[in-house]
Amino acid sequence: MDGFVRVPISEQEPKVRATNFEEVCLGYTEEEAVKEAGRCLNCKNPKCVGGCPVSINIPAFIHEVSERNFEKAYQIISESSALPAVCGRVCPQETQCEGQCIRGIKGEAVAIGKLERFVADWARENGVKPTPAEKKNGHKVAVIGSGPSGLTCAGDLAKLGYDVTIFEALQKAGGVLVYGIPEFRLPKDKVVAAEVENVKSLGVTFETNVIVGKSITIDELMEEEGFEAVFIGSGAGLPRFMGIPGEQANGVFSANEFLTRSNLMKAYEDSDTPISRGKKVVVVGGGNVAMDAARTALRLGAEVHVVYRRSEAELPARAEEVHHAKEEGIQFDLLQNPVEILTDDNGWVTGVRVIKMELGEPDESGRRRPVEVEGSEYNIDCDTVIMSLGTSPNPLISATTKGLEVNRRGCIVAEETDGKTSKASVYAGGDAVTGAATVILAMGAGKAAAKGIDAYFQNNK
Ligand SMILES: Cc1cc2nc3c(=O)[nH]c(=O)nc-3n(C[C@H](O)[C@H](O)[C@H](O)COP(=O)(O)OP(=O)(O)OC[C@H]3O[C@@H](n4cnc5c(N)ncnc54)[C@H](O)[C@@H]3O)c2cc1C
């Protein structure tokens, strides 16, 4: 069955990695990458490219890997993606490029994500950078937010010669890549900072610690600072809660706060940043964020239970993350939903009261609707609860920008094709428009907006 099975990838042993914050996946060696690249059938009509929201020429870069032309492979990827080392690690390839791979019909899809990661890591280790524009075109564009959408939009515009400045509220650039996704999945200094540096090397200026809407408004950037167009890529950082009794108790956190403390302020490294080191932690939710919060709490020494109201088949997290979480010893309490957070007399969490659920008819999302089983409530003892129920955009930007339309979920209304908003020469994309989604969709939106902004200047010359 030669070629039907992918070349296996090395990972840290589950027992070892459950006690450290080092990267779980160790990546392919050169020999392994070349062998895996040899499995690509180089299809005439490559469906994998259609499955990639930034349309990387996948067969072409994989062919170069199989020929050991790693630098050429990197140049091909970087024509379409500013963040290949990030995407190679965190993209849901199984439902995108790899989900379309012909090899996947009778065997395992080519490990496109792992090959992308290999190429990007090889380029970084060998000092290969993307190619900057030869000359500037004299137009100034502001980008709000340095997450994947902002970095992509800024990088693409810089390559076209625009003079781009990214305004970022936090002290470090990268958005969720630095403050959300944990070190053990996405190393910050080695990978994220290096790809941010690549965007800088294209000529993009970064202004950190600038909260647009407080430090300066979009209208001021355009009317007083000479920016002719703006891209808003400010993400969806506002956590949701359930609204159940006890949610204000000491020991209840949003996953965002918990992960930000751990990642950005390095609380896991015994720094001065306070972080909850619970003995028994309940994480509520079943997405990637819930898996990250659970696996972080585990590494900080807790017994961790993930409470999710549907069954395993509906878990929205990537299959690989669920698999890793289980291997590390996280327990999944499925088809259960919290109804109350229990506290002691001093207001500290002592447990969660949950009710069992069963699956009914499909809802508007197409997933079967969870229905409460009457009289099935019981208590789970714990000292910490982490709520991971999704996020929505912060209203600061929309509230301080004249004429910017938002929908009833607080998301900025923008065209999917070019990111155009209701306000002239203002574009938007990523989680700020779609609500919490994925890195690659945010990058796709940044790319589309860069094209839209360029078309705007071409048409208004
Ligand atoms: C814990 C976690 C794990 C995830 N795991 C995955 C995964 O495995 N795979 C995947 O594909 N996706 C994952 N996601 C989702 C993915 O990270 C997001 O969809 C993506 O980062 C969205 O990109 P963005 O550019 O729209 O926004 P963000 O990454 O949120 O970046 C927005 C940036 O804008 C800045 N900003 C906000 N307001 C202002 C303002 N007023 N002024 C200036 N700057 C501002 C923010 O500080 C931030 O840096 C995860 C998300 C989280 C939270």
DSSP string, 305-362: EEEESS-GGG--S-HHHHHHHHHHT-EEEESEEEEEEEE-TTSBEEEEEEEEEEEEEE
Per-residue tokens: 357: 């659920």
Confidence (pLDDT) at 267 = 60
Protein residue with its CA nearest to atom 15 in ligand 1: 438
CB atoms within 10 A of CB 277: 14
Please give the single-letter amino acid code of residue 368. Answer: R
Helices of type H across 160-254? 176-179, 193-201, 218-223
Distance CA 335, CA 326 (A): 17
Residue 66 CB–ligand 1 contact under 6 Å: no
Per-residue tokens: 317: 């997290």
This prediction's pTM: 0.93
Residue 175 CB–ligand 1 contact under 6 Å: yes
CA of 442 to the centre of ligand 1 (A): 8
Confidence (pLDDT) at 274 = 58
Per-residue tokens: 413: 């209304």
CA of 428 to the centre of ligand 1 (A): 14
* Residue 348 vs residues 245, 246, 251, 290, 293: alpha-carbon distances, Å: 13, 9, 6, 22, 20
Residue 151 CB–ligand 1 contact under 6 Å: no
Query: Measured from the CA of 210, which atom of ligand 1 is nearest?
Result: 43
Residues in the chain: 461
Confidence (pLDDT) at 367 = 81
Residue 442 CB–ligand 1 contact under 6 Å: yes
Domains present along the chain, CATH in parentheses: 2-125 (1.10.1060.10), 140-237+392-459 (3.50.50.60), 241-389 (3.50.50.60)
pLDDT digit string (tens) for the chain, length 461 residues: 567 899 999 999 999 999 999 999 999 999 999 999 999 999 999 999 999 999 999 999 999 999 999 999 999 999 999 999 999 999 999 999 999 999 999 899 999 999 999 999 999 999 998 888 888 999 999 999 999 999 999 999 999 999 999 999 999 999 999 999 999 999 998 999 999 999 999 999 999 999 999 999 999 999 999 999 999 999 999 999 999 999 999 999 999 999 998 887 666 666 565 566 678 999 999 999 999 999 999 999 999 999 999 999 999 998 889 999 999 999 999 999 999 999 999 999 999 999 999 999 888 878 888 999 999 999 999 999 999 999 999 999 999 999 999 999 999 999 999 999 999 999 999 999 999 999 999 999 999 999 999 999 999 86
Question: Which residue has 């997290």 as its token pair?
Answer: 317
Residue 430 CB–ligand 1 contact under 6 Å: yes
Distance CA 403, CA 342 (A): 45
Protein residue with its CA nearest to atom 30 in ligand 1: 235
CA of 43 to the centre of ligand 1 (A): 34
CA-nearest of 283, 285, 281 to 314 is 285
Distance in angstroms between the alpha carbons of the first and the last residue of the chain: 59
Per-residue tokens: 181: 């996704």
Question: Which residue has 């070892």 as its token pair?
Answer: 16
Q: Are strands 384-387 and 252-254 parallel, antiparallel or unpaired?
A: parallel
Exposure letters 409-444 (e unless 16+ CB within 10 A, then b): ebbbebeeebbbbebebbbbbbbbbbebebbbbbbb
CA of 176 to the centre of ligand 1 (A): 4
CA of 95 to the centre of ligand 1 (A): 20
Residue 426 pairs with which residues in a beta bridge? 230
CA of 233 to the centre of ligand 1 (A): 9
In eight-state DSSP terms, residue 188 is: I
